[in-house]
Structure 1
Amino acid sequence: MTRVRSLTAALSAALLLLSAAACGSDGDDTPKSVAPKTAALGTLTPGVIKVAVQPYSPYTSVQGDKIVGLDGDILHHVAKKLGLKVEPQVTDFAGMLAGVQSRRVDITIGGVAWSADRQKQGLFTDPPYYSPPAMAVRSGKTYKTVDDLKGLDLGTVEGYVWVKSIQAVPGAKLHAYPDANGVFDDLGAGRVDVGFLDPLIIIAAQKERPDLKISTQYLTPPTAAEVKAKPAYQYFQPYQTGFYLPKQATKLERAISTEIDAMYANGELTELVEKYGGDPEQFLRPDDAAAAARRGVDRPSDWTPPAIAK
């Protein structure tokens, strides 16, 4: 996720999450017997993985005690392999991060973007997928590069990092909305030429609202020279997502990363991305910057990001 929240919002969300945890399970749902290997993962409750999540379909939403969506499906698959029962706690995006950083939950999921600042306060798994720079475009139009966006009406959601990128495009006019529905409504009405949102959100809207007559296109990422000249263009590049855990959860992070890497190799991630309308070539192949960003930071200097086979 590419949203930015204030410190006040983060603190308020943390209190909300603490309250939800206090009113949650009294232990009756705790697995009666936990295998030693599972107990050694060090979750807050042995045999249970507590997950902070916000409704963000089709990445994450909660139905009963199950998290559904791309991230939810990946986590449930991993949890089953590790012998863990998934216990969701609903909050907002700021609460997701705060819950991990204060170790009130074991993990948060839902398109959380890796960043050097966030990794200082928590642990990221290997990327369960990469998020390409997607555009919702009015049918009949094609845009490929940042130069193609000059002078256009460009929309996104307030607080998303694409706000900064759009503001850096020469002649472009920013249209910022409280939520994605505003972007789609104005696209359909012709008041906006291109909308920048997370790709599966666009794909879902394209299917659910054919009246909008929009298409999903992927921007050719700006070059290193372009980003150097205009640093805000970095947000037009793909970003690597991760499941985010407390700093203390080293064993759990490593176990989850191992299972994620296996899902690249055995085709399971390809199936899940396709299930939600994504293109595995876009979602499951890292760009050149992915390795460089994390090598020597929170990964070894020879780390290779996971990818599907060519």
Structure 2
Amino acid sequence: MKTHRLSAAVLALGSAVALAGCGSDPASEVAADCEPAHQFETVEDGVLTVALTNTPPYSFEENGEAAGIDSDILATVAEQECLTVEYEAYTYATAVPAVETGRVDVAVGGFYRTGARGEVVTLSAPVYLDELTVMSADGVSTVDDLVGKQVGTVEGYLWVDALRELLGDGLRTYPDSLSLAQDLTAGRLDIGLDGYGAAAQSTDGTDLEIAVLETDPRVPATEEPSQTSLLLDPSNDGLATAVDEHIATMREDGSLVEILEANGLPASAAEVGDPRLI
């Protein structure tokens, strides 16, 4: 799994984290002769400002470094565009308005392509697929298995409203995947629900089992794997064009699959199909 070094300030919510866009040394400056592949403006000149959610393996902070699939993708974008990168820590709930209002250029964290998000931010081209996954001690896999249990999930996922209607007080939401995993492994929850990649990461080294939640019309998110996107500043068409072209190139040259596999997702997750909203 690739990581990108952060300053110690990332340990505080909203703290900025510098990351070099060109060169292998995270502390280095962009090379003077670096030629960007595209021309576009950013919130801060020469810097790609990124809202980083703590949602392994999509994006997270680990030992003072930014890590995960989306972080690796943006490192490639920054290198090609001669930008340094500053990551700022956000929750799922706060990252979207940060992009919408132009406080950051991009938000990362395995965000699903939803119609509601597409109304307030620009969604990048689909990046990879993810599925609603159950974490439990006994491998439960149906919606009926959730009823009557203490269930946790991450706020901001598209399935939260349907589950809240179904489970009522039996559903507890968390600001990020790590908080969810901590309560689940501590026994404060019976079942955890997360994206497949996050669930696999959270249960690694534990006795918990994971299973994709079986299709059930009461939870529409079970009916088709969700496509993920990077969330982009809606006022910056040039940035969106550049990011989409880099994603396409990474898919074609195989580097996207390498990133997915290094972070625990199968190569098939790169086979997104035509863009769609849920």
Alignment-derived partner of residue 185 in structure 2: 184
Distance 1:32 1:83, change over 3 A: closer
d(CA) in 1 for partners of 2:235, 2:248:
21
State the Cα RMSD in Å: 3.5
Q: Read off the aligned partner of 2:52 and give its amino acid letter.
A: V
Alignment-derived partner of residue 49 in structure 1: 48
Q: Does 1:261 align with 2:248?
A: yes
Distance 1:30 1:104, change over 3 A: farther
Larger radius of gyration: 1
Distance 1:53 1:77, change over 3 A: same
Q: How many angstroms does 1:276 deviate by?
A: 1.9
Q: How many angstroms does 1:173 deviate by?
A: 8.5
Q: Read off the aligned partner of 1:81 and give its amino acid letter.
A: Q
Q: Read off the aligned partner of 1:235 and give its amino acid letter.
A: A
1:218 to 183, 188, 212: 212
d(CA) in 2 for partners of 1:247, 1:279:
31
Q: How many angstroms does 1:125 deviate by?
A: 0.5
Q: Does 1:207 align with 2:204?
A: yes
Q: Read off the aligned partner of 2:149 and give its amino acid letter.
A: D
Alignment-derived partner of residue 151 in structure 2: 155
Partners of 1:59 and 1:200 within 8 A in 2:
yes
d(CA) in 2 for partners of 1:30, 1:104:
23
Q: How many angstroms does 1:74 deviate by?
A: 1.5
Q: How many angstroms does 1:250 deviate by?
A: 0.8
Task: Please give the residue correspondences for 1:278-293 in structure 2 after superposition, counting only pairs within 5 Å.
Answer: 278-281=265-268, 283-286=269-272, 291-293=275-277
d(CA) in 2 for partners of 1:114, 1:284:
15
d(CA) in 2 for partners of 1:80, 1:284:
22
d(CA) in 1 for partners of 2:236, 2:50:
13
Alignment-derived partner of residue 95 in structure 1: 94
Q: How many angstroms does 1:40 deviate by?
A: 1.6
d(CA) in 1 for partners of 2:54, 2:146:
34
Size of the aligned set, in residue pairs, is: 252
List runs of 5+ in structure 1 lacking aligned partners: 1-15, 295-310
Distance 1:34 1:51, change over 3 A: farther
* Greater share of residues in strand: 2
Distance 1:203 1:38, change over 3 A: same
TM-score normalised over the length of structure 2:
0.74
Partners of 1:138 and 1:215 within 8 A in 2:
yes
Q: How many angstroms does 1:131 deviate by?
A: 1.6
Distance 1:195 1:56, change over 3 A: closer
SS in 2 for 1:42: coil
SS in 2 for 1:105: coil
Distance 1:271 1:176, change over 3 A: same
Partners of 1:39 and 1:47 within 8 A in 2:
no
Distance 1:120 1:33, change over 3 A: farther
User: Identity rate of aligned residues, in percent?
Assistant: 20
Distance 1:173 1:107, change over 3 A: closer
Alignment-derived partner of residue 196 in structure 1: 193
TM-score normalised over the length of structure 1:
0.67
d(CA) in 1 for partners of 2:53, 2:46:
23
Q: How many angstroms does 1:151 deviate by?
A: 4.9
Distance 1:38 1:284, change over 3 A: closer
Q: Does 1:272 align with 2:256?
A: no
* Greater share of residues in helix: 1
